[in-house]
Structure 1
Amino acid sequence: MSSWIAGLPMYNVTPRHVALWHALLRDALDAFANAGGPAGVALLDEPFGDLHTLWRRDDLLLSQTCGYPYRMLGLRDTVRLIATPVFNADGCHGARYSSVLVVSARVHAGGATTLAACRGLRAAFNGEDSHSGMNALRHAVAPHAHDGRFFGSVTPFGSHLNVLRALAAGDADCAAIDCVTFAYVKDALPELLHDIRIIGKTASAPGLPLIASRTLEEPQVAALRDALDRAVSVDAERARVLRLKGFERLAPDAYDAIERFARDAAAHGYPALA
């Protein structure tokens, strides 16, 4: 491949997070180039456009996806799994993470202090292709559902940040938020959580994987993994703000857990968030 692109679209919660992830990616690519990898990689930034198209590009050197598209929407068969981040956040254990179950303060005061008590409420989620916002929530709700339904309504808001805003504004009642995103918001936008209460967490699953095109050869994959490790270690303050401890090398079949969440929900007669 004569030219490559790279971009990290998944945890850009605030402009500071955007800048820090961009700098970490730049350091990783510089280390990769010094190890014999390609130089002059084009770094993408927001707006990234259609992510499902981006993730399937032959010239993609590095990006990050959610475990749901990776396991459930065919990405695993078309990309290389590079690494999975390890975060220092409540709900993370190694390269695994969970979602924080939250409700608005108003419904919490009215008795919605457990997930079971959220029956008939207005659920919000980021998108249909999200594990943390949709699949994990569906899995958690499934044992409580009757005839395939639990919530009064379910509404997509496009991002976890938008979901939190909807809860704070009273436009939704309950949701599941990626625990890393929740930690970032707690650090940088704590006022957004003033009218939001935690009522639990979902089961854990492998975190959001870093991926590359299958045109990347195996020796380059190994060098890219080493370059990512170096990029974390060179700036301790950046790693602290990003809550990034490092990366693990998971096998692709580790993400079968994502499919098990969906299968277990369907076994309870709850195949769709409803």
Structure 2
Amino acid sequence: MTWIAALPMYNVTPSLENEWRGWLADVLRMVKPACRIVDPDEELHGFWRRPNLLISQTCGYPLMHGLREQVQLVATPRFDAPGCEGAHYSSVIVTRADAPFDTLASCRGARVAYNQDDSNSGMNALRHAVAPHSQEGAFFRAALRTGSHVGSLRAVADNHADVAAIDCVTFAFVCDEMPELARQVRRIGMTAASPGLPLIASDTVPAATVEALRDALNEALALHPERAKRLRLQGFSALPLEDYERIAQLESEARAVGYTRLG
């Protein structure tokens, strides 16, 4: 079997994507399987379920909604980004720099942008933050699905939406790589924290190979300290799957007050 690997989640710019691929290539050289780095040519939910997936990164929300039955956790990155604490992260709630909103509560009746229906950072954590302010299951007057966090930032900056929740790691990368876009928005809050985006492997990957991957993750960081700095990577934690129940808790707490979807 030829293994495949990909890191699709934090490729904010092409140059940053090249840095991720370089780091991943070093990891794979240390583990030494026959493995190709690929660009997923299918919907990510299908890609993550490929039986020859050696390593990739997913979001915690799909992990807790069926994916965990077909994959195993490898590690969770620890990022140097505002809003991160250890292997946990939050989302930055933003509005336009010149918008009249100062808090999430003041956004009642505004337009929300979010990246995907199954995103923890862009949808689930924001739904949890909004839920206490909702009335009869509603808060925003319109919701726009953009397909990506950068798309949500552009929607807010271009006045197609008024507010969005952006994964704090993505937002830090945007500040680094796309400062013009970052200057067009303003932070008005943070969501609750939850475990960060985990690195996963197919459940067909041998346990010894998973352990070798865990060792190689940190070893590859040490090879190029400047690259690790640009990727804002501090290291990796091996979190138990039970820690990711926090994501389901955020969903349950929003549903408990009748706020089931952004709107």
- Please tell me the TM-score bracket, short chain as reference: over 0.9
**Residue in structure 1 matched with residue 94 of structure 2 by the alignment:** 102
Q: Report the secondary structure of 2:98's partner residue.
A: helix
Per-residue deviation, 1:42: 1.1
Residue 66 (1) aligns with residue 54 (2): no
User: Under a length normalisation based on structure 2, what TM-score does the superposition of the two structures give?
Assistant: 0.98
Per-residue deviation, 1:273: 1.2
Per-residue deviation, 1:48: 4.1
Deviations 1:124-171 (A, max 9, x none): 000001000000000000000000000011110000001111111111
Residue 53 (1) aligns with residue 46 (2): yes
User: Under a length normalisation based on structure 1, what TM-score does the superposition of the two structures give?
Assistant: 0.94
Say whether the 8 Å CA contact 1:119–1:151 is kept in structure 2. Answer: yes
**Residue in structure 2 matched with residue 26 of structure 1 by the alignment:** 25
Residue 241 (1) aligns with residue 230 (2): yes
Aligned partners of 1:154 and 1:186: how far apart in 2?
A: 25
**Residue in structure 2 matched with residue 8 of structure 1 by the alignment:** 7
Aligned partners of 2:195 and 2:104: how far apart in 1?
A: 23
Structure 1: which 5+ runs fail to align? Answer: none
Higher deviation after alignment, 82-91 or 187-196: 187-196
Aligned partners of 2:262 and 2:153: how far apart in 1?
A: 18
**Residue in structure 1 matched with residue 218 of structure 2 by the alignment:** 229
**Residue in structure 2 matched with residue 93 of structure 1 by the alignment:** 85
Question: Which of 28, 32, 43 in structure 1 is aligned with 2:37?
Answer: 43
Q: Report the secondary structure of 1:250's partner residue.
A: coil
Per-residue deviation, 1:228: 1.0
Question: Which of 168, 171, 184 in structure 1 is aligned with 2:160?
Answer: 171
Look up the equivalent residue of 1:30 and give its one-letter code: R
Say whether the 8 Å CA contact 1:135–1:262 is kept in structure 2. Answer: yes
Per-residue deviation, 1:105: 2.3
Look up the equivalent residue of 1:63 and give its one-letter code: S
Look up the equivalent residue of 1:95 and give its one-letter code: A
Per-residue deviation, 1:219: 1.1
**Residue in structure 1 matched with residue 68 of structure 2 by the alignment:** 76
Aligned partners of 2:103 and 2:113: how far apart in 1?
A: 16
Question: Which of 147, 151, 176 in structure 1 is aligned with 2:140?
Answer: 151
Aligned partners of 2:138 and 2:247: how far apart in 1?
A: 21
Q: Report the secondary structure of 1:58's partner residue.
A: coil
Q: Report the secondary structure of 1:85's partner residue.
A: strand
Aligned partners of 1:193 and 1:222: how far apart in 2?
A: 38
Question: Which of 193, 203, 207 in structure 2 is aligned with 1:218?
Answer: 207
Aligned partners of 1:131 and 1:214: how far apart in 2?
A: 23
Pairs within 5 Å for 1:171-210: 171-210=160-199
Say whether the 8 Å CA contact 1:9–1:48 is kept in structure 2. Answer: no
Aligned partners of 1:118 and 1:147: how far apart in 2?
A: 16
**Residue in structure 1 matched with residue 241 of structure 2 by the alignment:** 252
Deviations 1:158-187 (A, max 9, x none): 000011111111111000000000000001
Percent sequence identity is 54
Aligned partners of 1:127 and 1:244: how far apart in 2?
A: 25
Q: Report the secondary structure of 2:192's partner residue.
A: coil
The runs of at least 4 consecutive aligned structure 1 residues that moved more than 3 Å come to none
Residue 270 (1) aligns with residue 262 (2): no
Aligned partners of 1:169 and 1:3: how far apart in 2?
A: 44
Q: Report the secondary structure of 1:265's partner residue.
A: helix
Q: What is the aligned length?
A: 263
Look up the equivalent residue of 2:143 and give its one-letter code: V
- Superposed CA RMSD in Å reads 0.9
Per-residue deviation, 1:49: 2.5
Aligned partners of 1:149 and 1:199: how far apart in 2?
A: 20
